[in-house]
């Protein structure tokens, strides 16, 4: 077949929002309220894509506000100030405190608005002590769609992947998107752009949506913005490894974290993972949201091979749980799930009965550790503005609120930051003059996509293809950016990822010439983004020669406040990535400059 030509559709708007989940919908709503025209472009369908729709859908705020909102069981001692302190301490002092302050101020209002809309739509929401709510993940999706539907000045394009931003001089004023179904290009000209495209997951064992390929982060980086905190991934202990069709389900984690009848957690050799753990620290996990970090820390200590997500099996063993206590817990869980999802044994779309059949048969649940969220992302200031004029970012795509460990709600962050970004970017769009699209820049990024479907040595059924390279990259991430890291593994991973990027991906062309749903092209575009974000992550990981939050190093176990109280920031210098340090905003709470023996000691000192 001859040269493929992508038809072009030019579009103009005040504000372009990239993404179709909660950060994007809230950004679009805040902007639409202020009267600007919004175009929202989403890779998936609005409210049917991203991590929000597969989350457990707990949203939390401070207890004081929850009480004022009528939740009489809310814990009022969790004041705004207490929430602020918890986030900052759990971030290991890497949070930008101005962002935390804004979050604490806004979260009650945003979560209240979101859940009020859910209730008005007849959806079920239940209070969850001490200061949050739980709803169905399908409800989260439905509310996101409804939010958008209410504003006629929000236009949407779904199933279109934004490939790159358009930079005209020093300002971002548009983007190029590919309609995945018909292969047409959308050339979007906007006064301001918000990236709300979610996170980045490079691993082979996943519990996240396939959207998390770091597209927004990579395009921001390519356009000249900066990424920060890329070494920090939020690992979730207790993700199902079996039964096979439920691999990646977070139901075991949810059971465990809900404090229902607690199984023993054993390694494959039968050792209890919490046996040698400090009991005070473990009890901290019971009361606070540090549960994930505490378990991650102790589970990984028992791992035989160093830290590849999902490679090590753990077992939730219910054999010593009293039958009555188990049945009571099961009833409680079933009532909750039935209330949220209506059908019996339903958790989101999954039928969780096989888990409970296993208990009946005396079999333990086989679980592993998988990453749920990335703390790293685009560097923004308190106005959600990136370092590039006209470009904003929010939600999981942005960084700075949770630092080295996300202790609070990702969904609340998505709502708060989305709304703020929308308000700020629309203000900018109103005040700024329209600027001309740089056509040379646009041609260059279009050409880069067109290149991928040209004939080449590596196209087609040759020794490697995009799917094989995905496997290679995942393996590199598993080994170099895993649960427990060390200099030599991360170093070789960094060399390998550079090699894969430069020698393999850059020369790769797709064998499929079709303009219509070209899976191969989609994967190649995503792979490039993952490759870039992985390089950034490995550089940050190598530079952090200490342990902090979820960044656990076997060769540097100390929390080294004396030298490492800074964020790592990545940007392009010429054609290669470069790293700089940035001191976070510490205007309200100063950390001690102490050196802690390990994560355990840090938690003890900071939280007792």
Partner 1 sequence: MFMIVEVFRYDPDAGKEPYYERYTVHVPALPITVKELLETIAKNYDPSISFFQHSCCNHATCKRCYVKVGGKAVLACNTLVESKDQIRIDPVSHDNVVKDLVVKDL
| Contact set with ligand FAD (CB under 6 A) | 18-24, 41-44, 49-52, 54-59, 161-162, 196-199, 207-208, 211, 215, 250, 372-373, 395-397, 409-412, 414
Q: Which does 414 bind (CB under 5 to 8 A by kind): partner 1, ligand FAD, none?
A: ligand FAD
* Least distance between ligand FAD and beta carbon 377 (Å): 9
Nearer to partner 1, 58 or 97 (CB): 58
Q: Which does 466 bind (CB under 5 to 8 A by kind): partner 1, ligand FAD, none?
A: partner 1
Instruction: Rule CB under 8 A: say whether 338 interacts with partner 1.
Output: no
* Least distance between partner 1 and beta carbon 348 (Å): 5
* Least distance between ligand FAD and beta carbon 448 (Å): 15
Report the alpha-carbon distance of residue 346 to residue 359 in Å, rounded: 17
Instruction: Rule CB under 8 A: say whether 471 interacts with partner 1.
Output: yes
Selected binder of partner 1 within 119, 181, 271, 503 (CB under 8 A): 181
* Least distance between ligand FAD and beta carbon 379 (Å): 16
Instruction: Rule CB under 8 A: say whether 523 interacts with partner 1.
Output: yes
Nearer to ligand FAD, 19 or 549 (CB): 19
Question: In terms of Cα–Cα distance, which of 3, 27, 5 is closest to 394?
Answer: 27
Q: Which does 373 bind (CB under 5 to 8 A by kind): ligand FAD, partner 1, none?
A: ligand FAD
CB within 8 Å of 15: residues ≥ 6 apart: 28, 31, 36, 37, 38, 39, 190, 191, 192, 193, 194, 422, 425, 426, 429
* Least distance between partner 1 and beta carbon 60 (Å): 22
User: Whose structure tokens read 């729709």?
Assistant: 53
Nearer to partner 1, 518 or 535 (CB): 518
- A 10 A CB-CB count for 358 gives 17
* Least distance between ligand FAD and beta carbon 494 (Å): 25
Report the alpha-carbon distance of residue 530 to residue 519 in Å, rounded: 16
- A 10 A CB-CB count for 9 gives 14
Nearer to ligand FAD, 42 or 173 (CB): 42
| 64 membership: H or E segment, kind and range | helix 63-68
Question: Does a cis peptide bond (omega within 30 degrees of 0) precede residue 391?
Answer: no
* Least distance between partner 1 and beta carbon 183 (Å): 8
Stretches 47-55, 313-321, 325-333, 355-363: which one binds partner 1 (CB under 8 A)? 47-55
Q: Are strands 314-317 and 171-179 parallel, antiparallel or unpaired?
A: unpaired
Q: Are strands 8-18 and 185-195 parallel, antiparallel or unpaired?
A: parallel
Q: Which does 162 bind (CB under 5 to 8 A by kind): partner 1, ligand FAD, none?
A: ligand FAD
Instruction: Rule CB under 8 A: say whether 588 interacts with partner 1.
Output: no
Report the alpha-carbon distance of residue 567 to residue 248 in Å, rounded: 31
Nearer to ligand FAD, 371 or 561 (CB): 371
* Least distance between ligand FAD and beta carbon 360 (Å): 26
Selected binder of partner 1 within 68, 210, 439, 488 (CB under 8 A): 210
Stretches 78-86, 242-250, 267-275, 552-560: which one binds partner 1 (CB under 8 A)? 242-250
Instruction: Rule CB under 8 A: say whether 159 interacts with partner 1.
Output: yes
Report the alpha-carbon distance of residue 51 to residue 37 in Å, rounded: 26
Nearer to ligand FAD, 39 or 476 (CB): 39
Nearer to ligand FAD, 197 or 266 (CB): 197
3-state secondary structure of 161: strand
Instruction: Please provide residue 124's backbone torsions phi and psi, each rounded to the nearest 5 degrees.
Output: -95, 140
Nearer to partner 1, 137 or 547 (CB): 137
Q: Which does 48 bind (CB under 5 to 8 A by kind): ligand FAD, partner 1, none?
A: partner 1
Q: Which does 180 bind (CB under 5 to 8 A by kind): partner 1, ligand FAD, none?
A: partner 1
Report the alpha-carbon distance of residue 125 to residue 65 in Å, rounded: 17
* Least distance between partner 1 and beta carbon 34 (Å): 29
Report the alpha-carbon distance of residue 602 to residue 297 in Å, rounded: 12
Selected binder of partner 1 within 206, 446, 485, 544 (CB under 8 A): 206
CB within 8 Å of 233: residues ≥ 6 apart: 201, 371, 373, 374, 375, 376, 481, 537, 550
* Least distance between ligand FAD and beta carbon 12 (Å): 18
Rg of the chain's alpha carbons, rounded to an integer? 23
Q: Give the CA count within 13 Å in the CB-facing half-sphere of 127.
A: 14
Q: Which does 395 bind (CB under 5 to 8 A by kind): partner 1, ligand FAD, none?
A: ligand FAD
Q: Which does 278 bind (CB under 5 to 8 A by kind): ligand FAD, partner 1, none?
A: none
Nearer to ligand FAD, 289 or 568 (CB): 289
Q: Which does 35 bind (CB under 5 to 8 A by kind): partner 1, ligand FAD, none?
A: none
DSSP state of 275: T
Q: Are 419 and 425 in contact (CB under 8 A)?
A: no
* Least distance between ligand FAD and beta carbon 285 (Å): 17
| 381 membership: H or E segment, kind and range | none
Question: In terms of Cα–Cα distance, which of 318, 396, 341, 335 is closest to 56?
Answer: 341
Question: In terms of Cα–Cα distance, which of 457, 50, 400 is closest to 215?
Answer: 50
Instruction: Rule CB under 8 A: say whether 342 interacts with partner 1.
Output: no
The dihedral of CA 387, 391, 392, 396: what is its sign?
Answer: negative
First to last CA, the chain: 69
Nearer to partner 1, 55 or 131 (CB): 55
- Decide: residue 541, CB within 10 A, 0-12 exposed, 13-18 middle, 19+ buried: buried
Report the alpha-carbon distance of residue 46 to residue 24 in Å, rounded: 9
* Least distance between partner 1 and beta carbon 158 (Å): 9
Q: Are strands 132-135 and 58-60 parallel, antiparallel or unpaired?
A: antiparallel
Strand ranges (E), 196-317: 227-228, 233-240, 264-267, 314-317
Instruction: Rule CB under 8 A: say whether 507 interacts with partner 1.
Output: no
- Residue numbers of the site for partner 1 (CB under 8 A)? 1, 4, 43-45, 48-50, 53-54, 137-138, 159, 161, 180-182, 206, 209-211, 244-245, 248-249, 348-350, 460-461, 465-468, 470-471, 510-520, 522-523
């Amino acid at each position: 077949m001859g040269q493929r030509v992508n038809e072009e559709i030019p579009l103009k708007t005040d504000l372009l929002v990239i993404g179709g989940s909660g950060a994007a919908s809230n950004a679009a709503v805040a902007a639409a309220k202020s009267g600007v025209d919004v175009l929202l472009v989403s890779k998936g369908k609005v409210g049917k894509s991203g991590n929000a729709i597969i989350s457990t859908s707990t949203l939390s705020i401070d207890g004081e506000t929850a009480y004022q909102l009528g939740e009489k069981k809310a814990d009022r001692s969790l004041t705004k100030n207490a929430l602020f302190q918890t986030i900052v301490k759990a971030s290991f002092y890497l949070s930008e405190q101005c962002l935390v302050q804004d979050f604490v101020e806004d979260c009650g209002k945003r979560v209240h608005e979101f859940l009020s809309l859910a209730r008005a739509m007849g959806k079920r929401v239940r209070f969850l002590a001490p200061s949050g709510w739980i709803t169905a993940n399908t409800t989260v999706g439905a509310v996101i769609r409804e939010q958008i539907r209410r504003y006629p000045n929000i236009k949407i394009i779904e199933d279109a992947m934004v490939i790159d931003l358009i930079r005209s001089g020093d300002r971002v004023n548009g983007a190029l998107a590919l309609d995945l179904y018909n292969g047409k290009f959308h050339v979007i000209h906007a006064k301001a752009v918000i990236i709300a495209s979610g996170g980045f997951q490079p691993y082979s064992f996943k519990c996240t949506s396939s959207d998390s390929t770091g597209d927004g982060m990579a395009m921001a980086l390519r356009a000249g913005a900066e990424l920060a905190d890329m070494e920090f991934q939020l690992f979730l202990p207790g993700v199902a490894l079996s039964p096979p069709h439920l691999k990646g389900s977070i139901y075991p984690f949810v059971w465990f974290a809900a404090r229902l009848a607690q199984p023993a957690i054993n390694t494959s050799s039968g050792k209890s993972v919490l046996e040698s753990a400090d009991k005070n620290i473990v009890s901290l996990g019971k009361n606070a949201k540090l549960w994930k970090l505490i378990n991650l820390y102790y589970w990984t200590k028992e791992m035989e091979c160093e830290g590849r997500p999902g490679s090590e099996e753990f077992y939730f063993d219910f054999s010593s749980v009293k039958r009555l206590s188990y049945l009571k817990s099961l009833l409680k869980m079933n009532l909750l799930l039935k209330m949220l999802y209506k059908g019996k044994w339903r958790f989101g779309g999954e039928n969780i009965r096989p888990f409970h059949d296993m208990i009946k048969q005396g079999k333990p649940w086989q679980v592993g550790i998988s990453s749920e969220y990335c703390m790293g992302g685009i560097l923004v200031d308190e106005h959600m503005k990136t370092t590039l004029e006209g470009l904003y970012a929010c939600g999981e795509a942005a960084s700075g609120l949770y630092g080295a460990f996300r202790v609070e709600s990702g969904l609340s962050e998505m709502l708060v930051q989305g709304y703020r970004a929308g308000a700020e970017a629309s203000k900018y769009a109103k005040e700024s003059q329209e600027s001309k699209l740089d056509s040379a820049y646009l041609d260059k990024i279009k050409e880069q996509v067109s290149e991928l479907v040209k004939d080449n040595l590596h196209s087609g059924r040759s020794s490697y293809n995009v799917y094989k390279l995905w496997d290679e990259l995942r393996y590199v991430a598993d080994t170099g950016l895993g649960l427990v890291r060390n200099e030599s593994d991360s170093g070789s991973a960094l060399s390998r990822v550079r090699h894969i990027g430069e020698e393999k991906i850059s020369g790769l062309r797709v064998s499929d010439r079709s303009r219509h749903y070209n899976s191969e092209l989609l994967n190649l575009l995503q792979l490039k983004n993952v490759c870039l974000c992985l390089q950034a992550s490995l550089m940050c990981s190598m530079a952090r020669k200490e342990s902090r939050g979820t960044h656990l190093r076997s060769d540097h176990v100390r929390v080294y406040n004396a030298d490492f109280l800074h964020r790592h920031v990545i940007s392009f210098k010429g054609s290669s990535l470069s790293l700089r340090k940035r001191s976070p905003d510490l205007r309200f709470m100063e950390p001690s400059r102490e050196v802690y023996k390990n994560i355990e000691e840090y938690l003890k000192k900071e939280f007792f």
